[in-house]
Chains A and B, each alone.
Chain A
Amino acid sequence: MAILEVHNIEKHFGATRVLEDISFSLEQGQALAIIGSSGSGKTTLLRCLNFLETPDQGSIVVQSNTLFDAADPATQRESEIRKKRLHFGMVFQSFNLFPQYTALQNVTLASQLLAKEQPDFKANKARILADIEAHGKELLAQMGLADRAGHYPHQLSGGQQQRVAIARALALKPDILCFDEPTSALDPELTGEVLKVIRSLADQKTTMIIVTHEMAFARDVADQIIFMDGGVIVEQGDPHQVIEHPREERTKQFLARYAEN
């Protein structure tokens, strides 16, 4: 039973078609890597899943719930989109940490705001906030940042900032965690620490979608790989097969260019 099913997603920006007939599914506990050159639509696809863009066609189904269906306006109500977003976590290429909050506050802010909406919040305020803080600290420790909880983003390296961002996304316990080129804004010597964290999340069977340019990483960590080009899925399947023995001519060309660099 797939946790995520994406059916025939299509997206235009003005007259430009950026996504065309995108369909795939993802099993619970699996990692999906999406590769492809810049402008192939990978980021737009992730943004559609997080409701940062609205697809023109197609549907998104999570755990048999239709979260979005372009043909059904009832699934596109602004008021519900906010809750639907919580099925997905998002780690951005540029981290997007909140600069005025410490690492720990970045991780706990959204949980606190959501807890305040619960009817029993006032009665159990102290315990709920203590739980949220303990969970936040635990996540930072898991990222290897236990001693950085009180630091502000500008006091952290890029790799540390991205790990805080991963902890922040995990804090809300999303069904599916999305990574949008999580290491592309990092110096080469800092990519390793972030990839290591993602690898350990994969070992713990976190359901993930990872847009990445790290081919070897995608091959080793993902259970499934999608190669996109020009807004369409050119090839998808087993990572070793797609990266080592691609079937499609365009995949071969793309990977050959990578091998050269």
Chain B
Amino acid sequence: MELILEQMPVVLHSLNIGFLQTLKLFFVTLIGAIPLGLIIAFGSMSRFSPLRWLTRLIVWVVRGTPLMIQLLIIYYFPGLVLKNNWWGSGEAGRFIASSVAFIFNYACYFSEIYRGGIQGVPKGQQEAGMVLGMTKSQIFFKVTLLQMIKRIVPPMSNEIITLVKDTSLARIIALQEIIWAGQAFLKGSQGISGAIWPLFFTAVYYLIFNGILTVLLGRLEQKLDYFR
């Protein structure tokens, strides 16, 4: 116990830096995947059937294979197969490769949630807008959108909380996120080695951050509770 207290400042400093990278990956994924998911959702509902089937095929592959494999393929494929490692060998390259993999993977999950949300708004809402002389975009933004958002908040909350924990998968390509930072003390870093507790302690970070997210998303859900 005394040893842990002694190691604490060094470890926390390291874990903080790692968690910053975790947060960066988390927010970049959200910012990229939320709009990209909407585009994929429209693709999967397109009246042009080749586009619809292509989009659904992609969603099937992305959702049907492990994110870890997608990370490995996206990171190593250019260098090992195309003999042109456009990601570079540094941390920046690993971060971009991880971001690409996470954004694409999460956009596919989000697209299915959006699709359910859009299709869940009764057709009568659209028709009511039409007979009142509204344009298609007025109907989408003034009538459908908020009803859709209300429907997707609970399933999106679930995915967002999963995303916080999934960022740890980027460890597989040595992205220096919090798991990587905790593991470093096992092998030896900054004069500490053979310590397992920093790795276990990373859980506290995830737990606290997810606690904050749960409260915020719960508030959003409550805000939208004024209509049914």
Residues 30-51 of A at the B interface (beta carbon under 8 Å):
50-51
A52 to B133, CA, bound (A): 12
Contact A113 B138 (CB under 8 A): yes
Contact B131 A154 (CB under 8 A): no
Grouping DSSP codes into helix (H, G, I), strand (E, B) and loop, the B interface class, with mixed when no group exceeds half, is: helix
Residues 73-111 of A at the B interface (beta carbon under 8 Å):
82-83, 85-86, 88-90, 92, 94, 96-100, 109-110
Q: A99-B228, A109-B142 are in contact. Are A94 and B124 (CB under 8 A)?
A: yes
A93 to B38, CA, bound (A): 32
A86 to chain B: which residues have CB within 8 Å? 133
* B132 within 8 Å of A (CB atoms): yes
A110 to B129, CA, bound (A): 8
* A202 within 8 Å of B (CB atoms): no
- Chain B, residues 115-146, CB within 8 Å of chain A (1/0): the string is 00000001011011111111100100011001
Contact B131 A52 (CB under 8 A): yes
Select one of B130, B142, B146, B227 contacting A113, CB under 8 A.
B142
A82 to B131, CA, bound (A): 8
B228 to chain A: which residues have CB within 8 Å? 99, 152-154
B48 to chain A: which residues have CB within 8 Å? none
User: Closest CB-CB distance, B136 to chain A, in whole Å?
Assistant: 9
Contact B138 A98 (CB under 8 A): no
Q: A113-B138, A152-B227, A154-B228 are in contact. Are A98 and B133 (CB under 8 A)?
A: no
* A168 within 8 Å of B (CB atoms): yes
Q: A52-B131, A89-B131 are in contact. Are A99 and B138 (CB under 8 A)?
A: no
Assign chain A's interface to a size class: 20 to 34
Residues 4-49 of B at the A interface (beta carbon under 8 Å):
none
A192 to B228, CA, bound (A): 26
Q: A113-B138, A172-B132 are in contact. Are A100 and B127 (CB under 8 A)?
A: no
* A114 within 8 Å of B (CB atoms): yes
Contact A88 B131 (CB under 8 A): yes
Q: A82-B133, A113-B134 are in contact. Are A98 and B143 (CB under 8 A)?
A: yes
A59 to B199, CA, bound (A): 75
* B176 within 8 Å of A (CB atoms): no
A114 to chain B: which residues have CB within 8 Å? 133
A98 to B128, CA, bound (A): 8
Select one of B124, B127, B135 contacting A82, CB under 8 A.
B135
Q: A85-B133, A152-B227 are in contact. Are A92 and B142 (CB under 8 A)?
A: no
Chain A, residue nearest B228 (CB): A154
A92 to B134, CA, bound (A): 17
Contact A110 B146 (CB under 8 A): no
A99 to chain B: which residues have CB within 8 Å? 147, 227-228
A152 to chain B: which residues have CB within 8 Å? 226-228
A89 to B127, CA, bound (A): 12
A108 to B59, CA, bound (A): 41
Contact A100 B147 (CB under 8 A): yes
User: Closest CB-CB distance, B197 to chain A, in whole Å?
Assistant: 50
A83 to B132, CA, bound (A): 9
Contact A172 B130 (CB under 8 A): no
A89 to B131, CA, bound (A): 7
Contact A85 B131 (CB under 8 A): yes
Contact B227 A110 (CB under 8 A): no
Please list 24 pairs of residues, one from A and one from B, whose beta carbons are closer than 8 Å in the complex, sorted by A's number. Answer: A50-B130, A50-B131, A52-B127, A52-B131, A83-B133, A86-B133, A96-B124, A96-B125, A96-B128, A97-B128, A98-B125, A98-B128, A99-B147, A99-B227, A99-B228, A100-B146, A109-B132, A110-B132, A113-B134, A152-B228, A153-B227, A154-B227, A169-B131, A172-B132
4 nearest CB pairs, A to B: A110-B132, A96-B128, A96-B124, A90-B131
